[in-house]
Chains A and B, each alone.
Chain A
Amino acid sequence: MQIQPILAALKRHKAGTILIALQIALTLAIVCNALFIIKQRVTHLSRATGIDEQNIISVRNQWVGKPPSQQVSGLTATDLTALRQIPGVVDVYSTNSYPLRQGGWSEGLDYKPNQDHSTAHTAIYFSDEHTLGTLGLKLVEGRNFRADEIGRMDIRDKLGPPTIIVTRELAHKLYPDGSALGKVLYLNENPTTIVGVVDRLEVPWVDNWASQWAEQSTLVPVRLAMSIGGFYLIRTQPGQVDSVAKQVSKTLYGVNRMRVIDPKDGVQSFSQVRAKAYARDRGMAILMGVVCVVLLAITAAGIVGLTSFWVGQRRKQIGVRRALGATHHDILSYFLTENLLISLGGVIIGALLAIGMNMWMVSQFEMARLSPTYVLAGVVVLLLLGQAAVLAPALRASRVPPVEATRSV
């Protein structure tokens, strides 16, 4: 296939050529970045929390009035007993927060008291001896909390538990060369001993500020007496989340009416919690996906439209070529090659635009750098798309009979 005549012909269609190349370039730039955003968002929203999500229900309970904290402990204990009696419930505990809740308590852990900068950031989960079982956490070292070491504190008291359980990630951050078990750390200037290490447990936040320490969580053997109320986490038998969730409100109101469990989102299965926490990421991925599909369709349609016009314009010339001995195949490959040349021009500019656009987003939105794989994949997709789009008009062109050369108009 000779390229020279194609280039000469393109020179006579500068506007159309530039428009198609430009469209391909911009489409490539947007599609690459959109795919990259989708990948990042999907990676983010499919991060594991480390808990047995399928079988967990979260209940937000608010007390009416402001029961004194001594009373809160009793009220909470009664609730937990009642919840345990619901058929299908495996275990229950009360806490201040849980992964994906988007709100919670964070502290710094220090090697020494009075340290200038904390050694590690950590999320604090108020826990008891039922926590590991309820959440389905895997203990990789050490032991669970014992019932007799669970303390109690008011929300404005100073947190200083004698023992803690940490995640593997946090243990590694604190003691990169060896076991963290039995080590003494300082939390709010109080010494505390690591008695257990769990495999994995995410912090409550999914946004940027905690992204550097997303798996550094600490369980403290303390029941937090919150006058405003707190959360109950329930683990059910497999497959019984829905049936248990239906009974929670009724059971709790049966125990004591002086409480508020929001009818809308007071009782949530963990899949609802997850959906809410990652609504932004999911929405972004959907939007970018729709944009990609529609954009590729429109670009393809544009190529079909403009090539069809060219074919119509050149019927006579095609007829002449056919009359002079060009085969169907020659005509077909002429149009395919023509499109390939335009597309190549487009994707080269487009690749540069894609990288430029990503660099701009990196500077504005704390995004990661675009990996070249995406640009390469985009280039291949657009070249194929161009060839596929041009195929129908090119086939039509190849069927122009040689007799066309002798007709006027």
Chain B
Amino acid sequence: MFGYYVELGLRSLRRNPLLTALMVMAIGFGVAASMITWSVFRAVSGNPIPEKSSQLFTALIDSRGPNNNKGEPPLALNYTDATALIKAHKAEHQTLLYNVSLSVLPADSDSLPFTAAGYATNTDFFSMFDAPFQYGSGWSASDDERHAAVVVISHELNEQLFGGADSVGRDVTLGMHTYRVVGVTAHWDPKPRFYDLFDGNEFGEPVQMYVPFTRAIDLQIDTAGNNNCGSLMDYGNGREAWLRGECVWIPVWVELQTAADVARYRDFLTAYADEQQRAGRFHWAPNVRLRDVANWLDYEHVVPSESRISLMVSLGFFAICLINTIGLLLAKFMRRAPEIGVRRALGAPRRQIYGQFLIEAATVGLAGGLLGLLLTAVGMLGVGLLFEADIARLAHLDLSLVATTLLVAIFATVLAAFYPAWRAAQVQPAWQLKSN
């Protein structure tokens, strides 16, 4: 019967082409709008590091006092606190980082120099954030201690500089200084880039290189990211005063496995702030935060409100399209009341009528889904018009989106068809036959 009903459904679609076209278009537009905005939303709201997101915490210490930032600590640490936390080594792994932008001199003197963006960080960065390596590995703790001139470059930068060959052990000139390559990451670009929300880099271009923090400080490489000195801070004069002062510019992350570890680390942070208060540096009670990845993404409002609003409006739009479909299906089905009467009179149970009309609705849904898919694909080309370039770049049509589009279209249409199909099944055979 299933095959026969599908055939009947298709025949019925051809019978009122206008009504069919209306329904297919409503479902197509509705599902396409929802899928386009959904693809952007899922890209910006995804968990960038699902296996570890509840074990990674950013550590924040109030170095400004309760008058600033509504009682919340600043969103990164200053040099003094950041390096103190790393030195204390109270977590299993801990890392600190800041954004750097360095010029790269290509080997052949004919090409123009270009800039590579990356981070000054430490050895733990790579293991904490699960950076995958194509060649070599991250640098060691002793490289950090020796302030070694080493660098980890990205797969893409390796392609550009060495044509993709294993470049471990070779030299790269960054900002007129020579670094030895110790590792090449595989393509790695977690989005949102949770570890550097402070610089607003959550959807930035992929990172190209990483150098040791200690080395970068020695070379006085300035941050290419944010530097927040608060509005009332006396930040001194010159680089050394700035470095020792209260300007914040360094995100710090720690890896803590269990709840007990978290509690212990929080105690340590509180004790550290307490010590600073006793030393006369802070004139307020300890105020510290440990925020895990999800909490941090949420606190920093990483998902743009535009993305939320457009998803919501699209879903509302889809709902209206479905209500529209219910009305049109009702009209379509009830127009065939005499036909239903005949079938019922010949002995078809209500269940069969249900089946027939739900299958017919599913064919409408499938057609709508296919149109929706086409519109989604076209919409993906125009997504750059609707969202900022770096967010639009993240949205793409993949297999799961194709499957979701079709399934949602069919499922929603069948759902919308329940009421019209029920009405159709209620048709009284005797009444229909008599009035004819």
Contact = CB atoms under 8 A, between A and B. Distances in A.
Interface of A: 15-16, 19-20, 22-23, 26-27, 29-30, 33-34, 37, 62-66, 107-108, 116-118, 121, 154-158, 188-189, 227-228, 253, 257-260, 262, 276, 279-280, 282-284, 286-288, 291, 294-295, 298-299, 301-302, 305-306, 308-309, 312-313, 361, 364-366, 408-409
Contact of B112 (A20, A154, A260): A260
Contact of B324 (A118, A154, A189, A298): A298
B260 interface: no
Interface in B214-250: 219-222, 224, 231-232, 234-239, 241-242
Given A19-B327, A20-B327, A64-B113, A283 B386 contact: yes
Contacts of A298: 25-26, 29, 320-321, 324
B113 A279 contact: no
Contacts of B305: 364-366
B175 interface: yes
A257 B320 contact: no
B436 interface: yes
B423 interface: yes
B385 interface: yes
A86 to B, nearest CB: 20
Given A158-B236, A262-B115, A305-B22, A30 B316 contact: yes
14 contacts: A26-B316, A26-B320, A66-B219, A156-B222, A189-B234, A227-B222, A228-B224, A260-B103, A280-B388, A295-B317, A305-B19, A306-B330, A306-B331, A309-B335
Contacts of A34: 313
A291 B242 contact: no
Given A15-B419, A19-B323, A26-B323, A157 B237 contact: yes
A258 B175 CA distance: 10
A259 B104 CA distance: 10
Nearest to B177: A65
A15 B423 contact: yes
Interface in B303-332: 304-306, 308-310, 313-314, 316-317, 319-321, 323-324, 326-328, 330-332
Nearest to A157: B237
Given A157-B238, A365-B305, A299 B324 contact: yes
Given A279-B387, A280-B304, A118 B328 contact: no
Given A26-B319, A280-B306, A302 B176 contact: no
Contact of A228 (B101, B235, B237, B386): B101
A158 B22 CA distance: 67
Contacts of A116: 67, 232
A23 B105 contact: no
Given A64-B103, A302-B327, A306-B327, A228 B22 contact: no
Contact of A409 (B101, B231, B436): B436
Nearest to A15: B330
B386 A306 contact: no
Given A65-B175, A306-B330, 20 more contacts: A19-B323, A30-B313, A154-B239, A156-B237, A156-B239, A156-B241, A228-B101, A262-B115, A287-B37, A295-B320, A298-B324, A302-B328, A305-B18, A305-B19, A305-B328, A305-B331, A306-B331, A309-B330, A309-B332, A365-B305
Given A64-B105, A258-B113, A309 B334 contact: yes
B304 to A, nearest CB: 7
Given A283-B388, A365-B308, A365-B309, A306 B101 contact: no
A66 B37 CA distance: 44
